[in-house]
């Protein structure tokens, strides 16, 4: 039986090297995963600049984000006019299919009623009173003040905003689609904050079933596309609005992870009668098995022999590398969904996650319970560190003496302080090329992570010896 200890967040008035990002950033990643959609941040220019710079350094792709550009007058008298002007400018300049408006700490603290503003803007637009160049994109909203959560709150809020704005708003041409077992039912797959490579992997899995599907969000092309001959303001790719509108007609929704706030999967189940299947991110054999079982139930189709071979290769790799990883100790950190999936994966390969940390708060100890549920083999004490920062993680890790740390680039702080390897994965990765192409999901993703861990540990062992053994 795994013993879990819940380490409270450090009693400091401010974070020291925070283990989280801002809510609008997560929302903007979702919005760039919708076809023809441009994010518009209702707040100061600095917010959009920060998010652009942060995401560009991970995805290595341009990322335009509009802003209502608050100045002192807007902060005092309100930003309604700024928002209207921004919507006009974006419509004229980008000709988007949709504009996703997100709030900021400033606009939320001021009490800006953005949904009301958008209704007023729609009314003026309908009367032809807006200078938008004749472009009338769909406009929807996500409330994302960072003081109310992390980038994952913003991510799931934007998913909820898109689904509730569009699902069921169009009539299907040709009548309803078949339910599961009648030629293949439509599948809704709501992915978490994963890599572009992960999204391509999920899309390949869905296409192998030969059923209609909606993958939301899908920034696998819009944030990881081929080279351009000329600059594209709105890169190709993303979940089509028509597919989001059809989400109410699916045979089921497979939601990866657990939203900390608003839940689009639950909304589809409660208001549209679409069955909800919630699973952890499919990292490792157990999580992958559960994911594919749910996918087969929704679609009415079997995944096929190639998948069984991938699973077999992963098991073979576990056997080959067992001597390098068994009994090792790790620190894992990041988004709660990602950390829970990593904990399950490490547990099945024999690694003890001595610290499982997330920058998000853990009301009701939900994160702690999820970690406890996925640790089936661990017999050592595991510390749960929620709502903390990297300084707090390092303080605990110095006592627990792990063998490696696993997570995004911000963990370099831990790696240097502990003198142990950092296995880079997740989001964001700023100090290496290809962070957005790291494959985490599916059997092939687990195989990739397993190789990364084994090789990091083997390299560390080599570096400890003067002779530099070439055979380990």
The answer to whether residues 219 and 284 belong to one domain is yes
Does some domain include residue 314?
A: no
The answer to whether residues 275 and 326 belong to one domain is no
Domain boundary among 119, 136, 166: 166
The answer to whether residues 354 and 427 belong to one domain is yes
The answer to whether residues 266 and 361 belong to one domain is no
**Phi and psi at residue 116, in whole multiples of 5°?**
-65, -45
The answer to whether residues 255 and 331 belong to one domain is no
CA of 30: how far to CAs of 56, 89, 335, 441, in Å? Answer: 14, 22, 15, 18
**Digits of tens for pLDDT over the chain (472 positions)?**
577 776 655 445 567 888 999 999 999 999 999 999 999 999 998 899 999 999 999 999 999 999 999 988 888 888 999 999 999 999 999 999 999 999 999 999 999 999 999 999 999 999 999 999 999 999 999 999 988 889 999 999 999 999 999 999 975 434 455 544 333 589 999 999 999 999 999 999 999 999 999 999 999 999 999 999 898 989 999 999 999 999 999 999 999 999 988 999 999 999 999 999 999 999 999 999 999 999 999 999 998 899 999 999 999 999 999 999 999 999 999 999 999 999 999 999 999 999 999 999 998 899 999 999 999 998 888 999 999 899 999 999 999 999 999 999 999 999 999 999 999 999 999 999 999 999 999 999 999 999 999 999 999 999 888 776 677 7
Give the contacts of 280 (CB within 8 A, at least 6 positions apart).
256, 257, 287, 290, 337, 340, 341, 344, 370, 374
The number of domains in the chain is: 3
Does some domain include residue 387?
A: yes
The answer to whether residues 73 and 147 belong to one domain is yes
Please return the burial class of 193, using the count of CB atoms within 10 Å of its CB with bins 0-12, 13-18 and 19+: buried
Contact of 393 with 333, CB cutoff 8 Å: yes
137: tokens are 């994109």
CA of 227: how far to CAs of 96, 108, 171, 231, in Å? Answer: 21, 38, 37, 10
Does some domain include residue 279?
A: yes
Does some domain include residue 425?
A: yes
Q: How far apart are the first and last CA of the chain?
A: 33
Please, which residues bridge with residue 187 across strands? 213, 252
Does some domain include residue 101?
A: yes
The answer to whether residues 129 and 204 belong to one domain is no
Question: In whole angstroms, what is the distance from residue 141 CA to residue 32 CA?
Answer: 14
The answer to whether residues 403 and 299 belong to one domain is no
Range of the domain at 399: 3-16+321-463
Does some domain include residue 97?
A: yes
The answer to whether residues 143 and 83 belong to one domain is yes
The answer to whether residues 459 and 343 belong to one domain is yes
The answer to whether residues 146 and 112 belong to one domain is yes
Q: What is the CATH number of the domain that holds 214?
A: 3.40.50.1980
Domain boundary among 306, 337, 366: 306
């Amino acid at each position: 039986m795994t013993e879990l200890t819940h380490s409270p967040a450090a009693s400091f008035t401010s974070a020291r090297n925070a283990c989280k990002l801002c809510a609008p950033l997560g929302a903007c990643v979702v919005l760039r995963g919708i076809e023809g959609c441009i994010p518009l941040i209702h707040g100061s220019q600095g917010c959009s600049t920060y998010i652009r710079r942060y995401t560009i350094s991970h995805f290595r792709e341009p990322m335009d984000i509009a802003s209502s550009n608050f100045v002192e007058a807007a902060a005092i008298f309100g930003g309604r006019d700024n928002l209207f002007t921004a919507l006009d400018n974006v419509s004229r300049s980008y000709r988007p299919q949709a504009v996703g408006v997100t709030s900021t700490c400033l606009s939320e603290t001021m009490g800006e009623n953005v949904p009301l503003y958008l209704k007023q803007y729609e009314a003026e637009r309908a009367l032809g009173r807006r200078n938008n160049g004749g472009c009338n994109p769909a406009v929807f909203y996500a409330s994302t003040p960072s003081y109310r959560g992390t980038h994952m709150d913003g991510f799931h809020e934007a998913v909820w905003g898109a689904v509730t704005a569009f699902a069921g708003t169009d009539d299907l041409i040709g009548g309803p689609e078949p339910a599961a077992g009648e030629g293949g039912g439509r599948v809704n797959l709501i992915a978490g904050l994963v890599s572009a490579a992960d999204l391509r992997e999920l899309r390949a899995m869905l296409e192998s079933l030969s059923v209609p599907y909606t993958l939301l969000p899908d920034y696998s092309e819009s944030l990881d596309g081929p080279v351009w001959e000329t600059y594209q303001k709105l890169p190709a790719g993303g979940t089509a609005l028509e597919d989001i509108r059809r989400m109410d007609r699916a045979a089921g929704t497979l939601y990866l992870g657990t939203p900390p706030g608003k839940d689009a999967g639950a909304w589809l189940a409660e208001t549209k009668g679409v069955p909800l299947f919630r699973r952890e991110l499919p990292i490792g054999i157990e999580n992958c098995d559960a994911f594919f079982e749910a996918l087969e139930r929704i679609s009415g189709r079997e995944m096929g022999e190639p998948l069984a071979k991938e699973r077999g290769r992963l098991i073979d790799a576990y056997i080959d590398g067992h001597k390098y990883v068994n009994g090792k100790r790790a620190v894992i950190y990041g988004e709660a969904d990602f950390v829970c999936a990593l904990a399950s994966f490490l547990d099945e390969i024999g690694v003890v996650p001595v610290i499982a940390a997330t920058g998000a708060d853990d009301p009701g100890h939900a994160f702690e319970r999820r970690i406890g549920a996925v640790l089936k083999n661990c017999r050592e004490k595991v510390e749960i560190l929620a709502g903390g920062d990297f300084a707090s993680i390092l303080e605990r890790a110095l006592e627990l003496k792990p063998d490696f740390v696993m997570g995004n680039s911000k963990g370099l702080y831990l790696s240097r302080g502990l003198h142990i390897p950092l296995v880079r994965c997740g989001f964001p990765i700023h100090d290496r090329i290809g962070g957005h192409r790291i494959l985490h999901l599916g059997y092939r993703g687990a195989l990739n992570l397993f190789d990364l861990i084994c090789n990091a540990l083997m390299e560390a062992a080599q570096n400890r010896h003067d002779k530099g053994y070439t055979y380990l």
